[in-house]
Amino acid sequence: MITLKDVKENPEIEALIKGAQEQLNELGYTEHGHRHISIVSKRAGDILEKLGYPERTVELTKIAGYMHDIGNCVNRVDHAHSGAILAFELLKEMGMPVGERTQIMMAIGNHDEKTGTAVSDISAALILADKSDVHRDRVTNKNLSTFDIHDRVNYAVTESNLILDEETRKITLKLKIDNKICPVLDYFEIFMDRTMMSKYAAKYLKIWFELIINDTKLL
In angstroms, rounded to a whole number, what is the distance separating the alpha carbons of residues 70 and 120?
20
Mean pLDDT confidence for 104-109: 98
| CA 67, chain centre distance (Å) | 10
**Each residue's pLDDT tens digit, 113-125:** 999 999 999 999 9
**Each residue's pLDDT tens digit, 30-73:** 999 999 999 999 999 999 999 999 999 999 999 999 999 999 99
pLDDT at res. 83: 98
Q: How many domains does the chain have?
A: 1
Counting other chains too, the contacts that 102-105 makes at CB distance below 8 Å and 24 or more residues apart are 103/60, 103/64, 104/60, 104/63, 104/64, 104/67
pLDDT at res. 99: 98
How does residue 219 score in pLDDT terms, banded at 50, 70 and 90?
confident
Percent of the chain at pLDDT > 70 equals 100
Domain enclosing residue 145, as ranges: 4-217
pLDDT at res. 176: 97
pLDDT at res. 145: 86
Domain CATH for 178: 1.10.3210.10
> Buried b vs exposed e over 17-39: b needs ≥16 C-beta within 10 Å?
beebbebbeeeebbbbbeebbeb
pLDDT at 144 exceeding the cut of 90 = no
Mean pLDDT confidence for 75-104: 98
**Each residue's pLDDT tens digit, 196-214:** 999 999 999 999 999 999 9
pLDDT at res. 183: 92
How does residue 187 score in pLDDT terms, banded at 50, 70 and 90?
very high
